[in-house]
Structure formats: C-alpha cells, structure tokens
Amino acid sequence: MNSMKHPSAGQIARAFVSARAKGQALSDYPGTIPADITQSYHIQDTAISLWQDDVGGWKVGRIGEPLASEFGMDRLVGPIFDRHIVRATDTPTISPIFAGGFGAVEAEFVLEIGEDTPENKTTWTREEARSVVCCVYTGVEIASSPLATINELGPKVIVSDFGNNASLIVGPELKGWQGRAFEDWTAETFIEGASIATGTAAGLPGGPFESVRFLLELSAKRGMPLKAGCLVSSGAITGVHDILPGQSSRISFGKDGDIFCQAVKGETEPEAFPAAFEN
C-alpha cells in the first residue's frame, strides 16, 4: 500500500499500545486522525511491530455506506495476537474489557487458512479464497479499545487501534460447513440472559469467504501474506453489542453449540510492551 507516512504514526501507535499494555483508557484520540485509510494501516503496522506477540489471526469488520464508497472498500482488518486467542470450554471464558474504554461481543464464524498463501498474489476471487480455507469454527470476537469513542470516530480510527480487537474465542468446528448454505450458519447473542439479536452468515455481503478474499488481497499488498493456521474472524453476524466488565454473555449457534463469556476489567500486560512500564 503506497501512501505518504502519517507524521505522528509512531506517537499514535505507541500511545495505543502503551494504554493496552497498562489496561488503561484514553480520554481522546492520541494525535491527529489519519487523513486516509492507508495512513491508518501504517499506524497499525507500527503498533504491530511494538506489540510483543505474534499475529495468530485477523478480524475482518464491516464498513457501511456511505463510508465504504468513500474508502473504496467495505471491510477493514485488525490483528489478533496469539496470546489473545482462546478455545471455548463448557465454562465461561474470561474476557478482559478496557474499563472506561469500548467493549463489545460479536458472534462470528472463524475460518482457518490451510496453507501458506503466495507473497505476490494480490488479486483473489471468492472461490480461490474458499479453496484455502480448511476449517470453519464458531467464535466470538471480544472487541475492545482503550478509546471509548473508537466506533463513533469511524474506520480510520478503528484500523489505527488494532481494528478494535481485544481477543478471539474459538468454539467447535462447524460440522459440514462445505455443504451448508450461509442461511444455516446461525447465531443468537444473549447478554445477562436477555436475547439481543439473531443473524446468519448470509447477512454478510458476499458471506464469510468474501471477508477472507478481502483479507488475502490486503495482506499481500501489505507484505504480510497469510500463513497456514491463520484464523480469520470473518465479521459480526448479529451485530456489535456493548458489554461492560462484570456482565456475562452467551452466543448460541443453535445445533452448533454455545459459547459463554464473562467480561472482566482488563489487567496489565507488561510482557506485551515492556517499554510502557519503564517509568
């Protein structure tokens, strides 16, 4: 992606990474909001280089109209780090949320990449994207940022802070996914026992494989082709639902099982960014 580097990219990236490592909220955006989405990804690249963990997957989120037309894309991405990928069990998964920041749960379908993808292939069809997917799982993205207004400020800000991702909970494999219509990939979100919303993978424009296609192209252009085992959280199925520390949620995938989450106040992660703890 070719664009002039954002003049305060390092400052913004360091501020977000430090706040995340300290489990602290930010009262305002820590710098000048990027002029375009490419500058936002430059900030994200810088932040990834500062965070002391490997990228184990990517969240793909929607960009709605009219901004999708403005940016020339209807999706955005953010890294999911290895330490923040957890496997669901029968007991609630403890999910840290930034107190004073933004927090939400999102029902997702998680697609696993089965092979290393070519470094120089920057154009993909949806069928080609489907062909590199080896497994599909139920999942929950915990979207959280130190900045409470991150979603209100829009995609350029979301991209610049790891795509507003905090963690990914991976549930059981979606049995028979290869032959099931997207209308049969269902989810229902409950918070504190109350049903909030329902949806299916058919509600994602182009479906989950379009999310993979978009990620494959963007990642190659960024010089970060996907590797075998990479997990792709393909988009919110029932919407983005605010959650606070102390609240519980259940995401039901019908016959494909449930995932239980318990939101808690985020703690410090000194191993993620040691420089944030020097003073």
Give residue-wise pLDDT tens across range 42-65.
999 999 999 999 999 999 999 999
98, burial (CB in 10 Å: exposed 0-12, middle 13-18, buried 19+)? buried
Phi then psi for residue 248, to 5 deg, are -115, 155
Does 275 map to a domain?
no
The pLDDT-based confidence of 278 (bands split at 50, 70, 90) is low
User: Comparing C-alpha atoms, which of 42, 45, 15 is closest to residue 30?
Assistant: 15
Q: How far is CA 272 from the centre of its chain?
A: 18
Q: Tell me the residue type at 191.
A: I
Q: What is the pLDDT of residues 216-262, one digit of tens each?
A: 999 999 999 999 999 999 999 999 999 999 999 999 999 999 999 99
Q: Which domain holds residue 150?
A: 55-267
- What is residue 279's predicted lDDT score, i.e. its pLDDT? 53
Does residue 2 surpass a pLDDT of 70? no
User: Comparing C-alpha atoms, which of 191, 195, 197 is closest to residue 248?
Assistant: 191
- What is residue 239's predicted lDDT score, i.e. its pLDDT? 96
**Strand 241-242 vs strand 186-191: parallel, antiparallel, or unpaired?**
unpaired
Does 213 map to a domain?
yes
Does residue 277 surpass a pLDDT of 80? no
- What is residue 276's predicted lDDT score, i.e. its pLDDT? 78
Residue entry with tokens 């329902």: 198
CATH number at residue 133: 3.90.850.10
Largest CA distance in the chain: 55
- Mean residue pLDDT of the chain comes to 95
Does 69 map to a domain?
yes
Q: Which two tokens stand for residue 262?
A: 């318990």
The pLDDT-based confidence of 5 (bands split at 50, 70, 90) is low
Q: What is the pLDDT of residues 103-112, one digit of tens each?
A: 999 999 999 9
Residue 234 CA to residue 159 CA, distance in Å, equals 15
The share of the chain scoring above pLDDT 70, in percent, equals: 97
Phi then psi for residue 44, to 5 deg, are -60, -45
- What is residue 118's predicted lDDT score, i.e. its pLDDT? 95
Q: How far is CA 243 from the centre of its chain?
A: 16
The share of the chain scoring above pLDDT 90, in percent, equals: 94
Residue 14 CA to residue 275 CA, distance in Å, equals 10
Does residue 80 surpass a pLDDT of 60? yes
> How confident is the model over 113-137, as a mean pLDDT?
97
Does 115 map to a domain?
yes
Phi then psi for residue 7, to 5 deg, are -60, -25
First-last CA distance in the chain = 36
Does 4 map to a domain?
no
Contact yes or no for 191/247 (Cβ under 8 A): yes
Does 38 map to a domain?
no
Q: How many domains does the chain have?
A: 1
Does 171 map to a domain?
yes
Residue 161 CA to residue 139 CA, distance in Å, equals 21
Does 237 map to a domain?
yes
Does residue 4 surpass a pLDDT of 60? no
Does residue 153 surpass a pLDDT of 70? yes
